[in-house]
Amino acid sequence: MKKKVLMSMALAATAIMGFAAVNWAVVPPPPVNQNGGIYDTTFNFLTRTDCLQAAPCHVSDEILVGRHHNLTLPPRQLSCYGNPTANPVTGCHELIPNGSGGFVFADFRDCLRCHSKTPHHITTEAQQQDCKFCHGSFIDNPLDGHYIPTYAKSAVTPETKWDTDVDPGIQKNYGGCAACHLAALASPAVGPKNIESNANTHHGTGLGAPPSVTGQPIQVGECTWCHGAQGSPNFLDIRTCERCHGVNSLHNIQNPSGAGQGGTVTGPGVVPGAMPLGFGHVGNDFDCWGCHGTFKKYANEPSVAGAIVPFVSDVNTRVLIANQQNSLTITGGSFTNTSNGVDFASSVTLRNGATSVTLQPASITVSEIQVAVPALPVGTYDMLVVKGDKLSNLTRIAVIPSLVMKTATLASGTLTITGTGFGQAPPTDVTTGLGVFAADGSQATISYWSDTKIVVTSPALKANTVATVKTIYGPVSKSIAPAAKKTKR
């Protein structure tokens, strides 16, 4: 078979600041500051660079490569090569003719080629209305039985937009969600992207929309998940909003950023009612006024808050080596807080199917956790910061095989390599850049390949020179040893 030659192109990289890494805030709002949770924009305004830098989800190619290569392992066991836009996906690297008798890879570095529409809300969790799986306790699950008031709305009940009870038809900048959550154009203070309106960010999820609108293979959800009957007074009723944004979740969102000069945190943690205004829902009387439209001194009363929702902005690494101890440094906010004299501190949970471990921090502040991680098997793990009954937003950690080249022994022109983490054998009909290479850069012919043993031949392989194995998890090299001489008996 004629070998297909693959051409590669260098990709230019543009670095931008991660969404959660900069202290973007308009104080007092609106618009709401973007220092906690997900940036209030919609998927169609994002670029590949935005997806990579929207910490803590995707971050960089280095992170995503390990996570995608783990898809070749059980339970998915995808092929490296196939059509990533097929349903179901047959592989990630698609070969297309280059017009000169050879082949090139379709651009697999462009996230939006495979994820052409928002992929986040067609997951099993989204279909089951398990919103907290990704969003943590910033939100409630509609079916979890959380508290929603059944009494009649009063003058202090928030409206979905503004308070218009006093002067009907006249909008006020208090008494509802729009007191802080308004659209705004990108600017140095606001952030690098336009902040979208509540209507746009909610409709931008694709929930309730047909496939002809979303481009997805299935429809997830109904408009009635968020709305009352169309044309009824309850179409935009706050009680419907409370299916996801209930009393408990709304009253436990507070960002510590800006608690001191230059955005520093001056105290041991978040203290509801004793924080600067404009950085959350319960930090200051001003924050209460925005929702409830009344100017009483809430901070003088016992706080309704308990464990404030922690959020993760960044992790020092999202790739760990399997079967050995590791460590993580997690940055974010509200990892500690005090409510009504009770101190709350966070732990860290890593979960992957049947495997779940809870880790106590070696050190913790309001904005940083350092934790030791025990040896874990290969896989992709959900990482959550847990504080009381509150969960952080979801972050994923890839645990990849330990790539080790233990021996490289040459005998009669055949090189036998032992080790761990070699993964799948590279295909023989295309040049992928993976395989075994001699010191002069030439590639050896593969006779056998498994996760722990490789056998190759090449006249360029010589004793006391270096052989390099290039795998999907990276390269590893070792000096070639000659076979032991047989001793006469």
Write out pLDDT tens, residues 326-382. 999 999 889 999 888 899 999 999 998 878 899 999 999 998 999 999 999 888 899
**Same-domain check for residues 395 and 412:** no
**Same-domain check for residues 373 and 421:** no
**Same-domain check for residues 470 and 457:** yes
Task: Say how many C-beta atoms besides its own lie within 10 A of residue 67's C-beta.
Answer: 16
**414 part of a folded domain:** yes
Among residues 381, 400, 419, which one ends one of the domains?
A: 400
Q: What is the pLDDT of residue 51?
A: 66
Strand partners, 312: 332
Q: What is the pLDDT of residue 262?
A: 41
Among residues 400, 419, 435, which one ends one of the domains?
A: 400
Segments of the chain with pLDDT less than 70: 1-25, 36-37, 44, 48-63, 74-75, 87, 111-113, 115-119, 162-173, 215, 257-268, 299-300, 429-431, 486-489
**Same-domain check for residues 320 and 338:** yes
**444 part of a folded domain:** yes
Domain of residue 393 covers 311-400
CA 25 – CA 35 distance, rounded (Å): 7
Contact predicate 285/298, CB 8 Å: yes
Residue 320 belongs to domain with CATH number: 2.60.40.10
**384 part of a folded domain:** yes
**334 part of a folded domain:** yes
**413 part of a folded domain:** yes
Tell me the two tokens of residue 56: 């803590």
**Same-domain check for residues 349 and 427:** no
**Same-domain check for residues 460 and 446:** yes
**Same-domain check for residues 376 and 442:** no
**Same-domain check for residues 394 and 461:** no
Task: Say how many C-beta atoms besides its own lie within 10 A of residue 329's C-beta.
Answer: 14
**267 part of a folded domain:** no
Total structural domains within the chain: 2
Buried b / exposed e along 285-313 (16+ C-beta atoms within 10 A): ebbbbbbbbeeeebbeeebbbbbbbbbbb
Q: What is the pLDDT of residue 277?
A: 85
Amino acid at 489: R
Q: What is the pLDDT of residue 58?
A: 65
**Same-domain check for residues 473 and 410:** yes
**368 part of a folded domain:** yes
**418 part of a folded domain:** yes
Kindly give, in sequence order, each residue whose CB lies less than 8 Å from that of residue 287, ignoring residues fewer than 6 positions away: 277, 278, 279, 280, 281
Q: What is the pLDDT of residue 39?
A: 77
Entry pTM = 0.76
Among residues 366, 385, 400, which one ends one of the domains?
A: 400
**Same-domain check for residues 316 and 396:** yes
